[in-house]
Structure 1
């Protein structure tokens, strides 16, 4: 997103109660993507690239598509500046975003997006498919009638590029039926299967328009008619002939240092020639469907597997690392950005996928291996992992919690990220070690040895992690969630096929952390505290700290991240090396989960789910109270499922009560549930009026949803019919 676009959106949406002006939202529409190219198809048909964090190429910045049907007796009205130009206010151009979108969905279990536009008796069906680094948009116009004199429609395609993330200092090269837009390294190619009847460049929004009070409709017309305007811009307006009822556009962003011009043009032409009609795109989409989605679509796998695995795949770079979600706020106006890999999120997703794969045999071995390899290669010298990295290559990315890479203390460090990665690597080695090649097996063992030392270094003498930042990245202290990730990591390491000394050390540390969890117990509320707060630690953005005058004080607010304690205790209980969870701890976990889920529950006429934590005011806009989060709701479902299984293993009759709780919360985040978009995506947050907000789709809750279904199923506690019925209600 460029600054002009952000300011234009700001003018359009300022003052709205449930939208943050200046963002590029993905809360409606669907994504097509492959090999690091991530293309958003809005429900009105506009397409835009979000793949820069995955590939380093920016691609399409803005677009708009329309149709022109003119009678031969009445010439098309055009700008005086350029006869033949189709302007945004041309009475003969009807923009598809002004039509009704009657349906948008994926074609079967592929990643091709199908959008149906309708106006009156006319219908246009738009197909968007990404093949490796190329994106194809095909328009099937068979549902349109011709003009009064039989004139066939012409497609008007407005596409704006920002190579190297630049909106000025750009140039164009014309190549027969294609155009190349470039700045330095990135060269973006645009072509059509039926060529162009006309192709014009357009300049960006002018300074006086940027400073003006009103938003500017795009595409802009040519203005002064300066001869250079049409060649020094990333915006193009093309008239594309519709032949045999259809038209196909192809875009191809490239790195000129890796792909030459002739090779790029050859690929563009070949793609256009091979995908000139609907049947060709459908065949290509089905052929490009991954083995993972093929397996996920089979009858013995739950219906949630395809949408969840599709989302995780879309957010993945070729390295195997994943961005948290599409980067909707690139100027960091309302957030710190989402287009990066957090090792907490990514490690949890990897572990959830490993769990689901164990239940359903989802053919994810390559995914697990890629994740493990990148975790080994991105580990810091002290055995920890950094705050966040670029998904495309694992290099350090901008962040605010790189304390262990700096000369200061470790407070600006998120120890749970290291715990999450260790938990996955240890489980992978224990459960899938025979499937790993020898080199990767050795890398993982070395990485875990260093990670164990790193965990021990950040474990205080009392058995809990030192003061650091929390999972939500808005507080410092000694957190229950961080403690849970350490308990899980140590318990899994104790069972992993590592050295005897490492297993012994991990067992000892797991026992120590298990005992220390009781230090967080708050009997007055019947929960484990969010954190123990150190009064001498730097202040954080959350000032609701209990007992700040005490030497140390427990923050007893309810927090959904503390639900991670349940899964960690189950891992501890199932470990052959550690003690079983005792009856008192079981009672405390039962009380904690019940109190937390009930206390964080929010229901309005439009939505139902769990808020993040008590007193959370982030991105609330004008709402005045906490928002519902899909991660928190899915976490509640997962914790209830894990607790149900743990209780069942201890022959505790309370198991079914929590299985029912898990099924109910699962229904809220299921496809068709209160917290799922029309396209089946899980946004990060919702306003009380039902407006989705923030990163959409967010990978973490999708993986949580899949793992919760798998856990309930493996424990014999999944009632698919009841979950689907609750979601439909």
Structure 2
């Protein structure tokens, strides 16, 4: 997202109550791209790349599509789409528009680094497809050049390393560059409108910028454009390749066939119900969309790359990523999803990105694992509380479970785990609790119950895995120490575990959804040791009080808030918002506790929360996506889709299915396995 496009959005949305101006929201529309290119297809017909973290290439910054008929353009953003949805279990986005009685069908697919837009209309009804695309090669909207290959129907926009291309199956009736907003336009109160006609002003204006306006003639009732992103390409070879690709994709059956062969998971998806009610397919699709080739994932599409309201989302956090990996491993074991390649790539990525001291850093670029901008890197620059110890623990939990699932992996995984175990030990204080550090939500420092839970889980998983007896015995001993030390965080008055011990040692007794991780940690610990009745009672009290205390229900939505006193992105609402990851965590923890204690009441609690996350629930968008947050009036907000709640939803469905507790009111009609 360039500064020009951020300012454009700011002008268009300033003053709205549930919108943060200057962001590039993905709260409606659909994504395509299950390789290293991720393209958002808006309901208004626009395309926008979210590819940079996954590939290092920026691509489309803004765009606008429409048709030309009766001697004038009609833009899709002025028309209400009749329908927009994925084609079955693929990542092909199908959209239909009604233009005064004329129905247009549009097909959008991202494959092999290309994005294809194929439009079908009744023959003779439409003259041409109107296309405006603002490319930002290298993330820039200045110092850019254009080359137009009119005979081939190809436009190239380039900076230095990145070269972006636009091609048409039927050539261009008109193709001109557009002058980007100049300083007076940027400073004006009203946003500039594009495209600005087919006149460029001075002769060089149309060749010194990334804005392209093209009119693509319909032939036999179809028009097709293809965009492609390349790094230092062989220009002649790319142009020839794009001409062939545009002609090949100028057919709906070809597009559908390629989409059907493309979907990443190797699972036999026929075991699931295809259609609007299938959350399993939705979750696998989302996690595929957010993944890079090397096995890493972005947390979500980066809607705030200028850090105006957040620290950005287009990075790999080892906490989120490893939790997703572990949930996928668990779900695969239960549902036979065929995700072995995903598991292997995750394991290899964690091995490659481990630091010399055995820890993993705050966040990295997903395409190459290099250190990304962050604020919790004290393990790199020295001692301090700006370190998130739970991230290292989460990776180790996955790696141990990954090795335990297939003993042929032990030889390669054990050295990584051994180094990571040393890092955990180094960040475990003498009292048996992790050292003071940052929390899972990255907005506090202290000694957190959630961090304790991740340490207990990691030590336990390592102790249960088929590693050397020395490693297992050491991990088991550490797990017992952490297990016993958790008592120091118990709050008698509320009968819960504290959010944290503050830097002065005082307990912060607020309820926090991240502490729900205690349930999974205790369920794992029960495999290597005995849970006494006192701990079971405390765990039940903590879970029950946390679920009750964090619950929020309005006329529009129902779910769990993140923690008591959460003020982030509340806007004019003035109180905490519901978070999908918190709600999914609650559903997952309730199911795990029910299985651990054979208390069927908590299966009911799990299904109640899960129902809000399923396609007909109040927290799930029509796309099947789970946004990070939701306002009380039902307006979604922040990163959409967010990978972590999708993995939690999938794991909860798999768990309930595995114990034959999936069926229930509001559940069985949405998931059939």
Tell me if both proteins adopt one fold, taking TM over 0.5 as the criterion: yes
Residues 1:217 and 1:724: Cα distance change in structure 2 (over 3 Å): farther
Residues 1:725 and 1:365: Cα distance change in structure 2 (over 3 Å): closer
- Say which of 452, 461, 473 aligns to 2:421: 452
- Determine the structure 1 residue equivalent to 2:249: 275
- Determine the structure 2 residue equivalent to 1:136: 116
SS in 2 for 1:723: coil
Question: How many residues get paired?
Answer: 667
- Partners of 2:121 and 2:530 lie apart in 1 by 65
CA deviation string 1:347-401 (max 9, x = no partner): 0000000000000111111100100011011111111100000000101101000
- Determine the structure 1 residue equivalent to 2:136: 162
How far the C-alpha of 1:432 sits from its partner, in A, is 2.0
- Say which of 149, 174, 185 aligns to 1:209: 185
- Determine the structure 1 residue equivalent to 2:99: 119
- Partners of 1:718 and 1:489 lie apart in 2 by 28
- Determine the structure 1 residue equivalent to 2:74: 94
How far the C-alpha of 1:120 sits from its partner, in A, is 2.7
- Determine the structure 1 residue equivalent to 2:27: 27
How far the C-alpha of 1:103 sits from its partner, in A, is 1.1
* Pairing of 1:399-438 with structure 2 (within 5 A): 399-407=374-382, 409-434=383-408, 436=409
Higher mean alpha-carbon deviation, 274-283 vs 714-723, is at 714-723
- Any conservation in 2 of the 1:205–1:220 contact (CA below 8 Å)? no
How far the C-alpha of 1:288 sits from its partner, in A, is 2.1
Whether 1:234 aligns to 2:210 is yes
- Determine the structure 2 residue equivalent to 1:672: 616
SS in 2 for 1:128: strand
Whether 1:298 aligns to 2:242 is no
- Partners of 1:253 and 1:12 lie apart in 2 by 29
Whether 1:629 aligns to 2:572 is no
- Any conservation in 2 of the 1:205–1:216 contact (CA below 8 Å)? yes
- Any conservation in 1 of the 2:84–2:94 contact (CA below 8 Å)? yes
- Any conservation in 2 of the 1:291–1:363 contact (CA below 8 Å)? yes
RMSD over aligned CA atoms reads 1.5
How far the C-alpha of 1:290 sits from its partner, in A, is 3.3
How far the C-alpha of 1:297 sits from its partner, in A, is 3.9
- Determine the structure 2 residue equivalent to 1:601: 551
- Say which of 196, 220, 224 aligns to 2:196: 220
- Larger radius of gyration between Structure 1 and Structure 2: 1
SS in 2 for 1:671: coil
Whether 1:610 aligns to 2:560 is yes
CA deviation string 1:57-77 (max 9, x = no partner): 00111111111113xxxxx4x
- Partners of 1:165 and 1:203 lie apart in 2 by 17
- Say which of 509, 529, 546 aligns to 1:556: 509
- Say which of 329, 332, 338 aligns to 1:363: 338
How far the C-alpha of 1:160 sits from its partner, in A, is 1.1
- Any conservation in 2 of the 1:247–1:277 contact (CA below 8 Å)? no
How far the C-alpha of 1:215 sits from its partner, in A, is 1.9
* Pairing of 1:30-41 with structure 2 (within 5 A): 30-41=30-41
Whether 1:332 aligns to 2:285 is no
- Partners of 2:85 and 2:668 lie apart in 1 by 19
- Any conservation in 1 of the 2:27–2:640 contact (CA below 8 Å)? yes
SS in 1 for 2:32: strand
- Determine the structure 2 residue equivalent to 1:13: 13
- Partners of 2:563 and 2:271 lie apart in 1 by 38
* Pairing of 1:509-548 with structure 2 (within 5 A): 509-535=478-504
- Determine the structure 2 residue equivalent to 1:84: none
How far the C-alpha of 1:127 sits from its partner, in A, is 0.5
How far the C-alpha of 1:273 sits from its partner, in A, is 1.5
- Say which of 597, 600, 605 aligns to 1:656: 600
Whether 1:311 aligns to 2:286 is yes
- Partners of 1:174 and 1:223 lie apart in 2 by 16
- Partners of 1:11 and 1:59 lie apart in 2 by 23
- Partners of 2:453 and 2:649 lie apart in 1 by 20
CA deviation string 1:27-67 (max 9, x = no partner): 11100003210000011111110010000000111111111
- Any conservation in 2 of the 1:490–1:509 contact (CA below 8 Å)? yes
Residues 1:281 and 1:222: Cα distance change in structure 2 (over 3 Å): closer
- Determine the structure 2 residue equivalent to 1:349: 324
- Determine the structure 1 residue equivalent to 2:457: 488
SS in 2 for 1:505: helix
- Partners of 2:198 and 2:181 lie apart in 1 by 11
- Determine the structure 2 residue equivalent to 1:697: 641
SS in 2 for 1:632: helix
- Say which of 327, 331, 349 aligns to 1:374: 349
- Partners of 1:726 and 1:170 lie apart in 2 by 49
How far the C-alpha of 1:720 sits from its partner, in A, is 5.7
CA deviation string 1:484-526 (max 9, x = no partner): 0000000010011212111111000000111111111111111
SS in 1 for 2:667: helix
- Partners of 2:608 and 2:265 lie apart in 1 by 31
How far the C-alpha of 1:153 sits from its partner, in A, is 1.7
- Say which of 231, 239, 253 aligns to 1:255: 231
SS in 2 for 1:219: coil
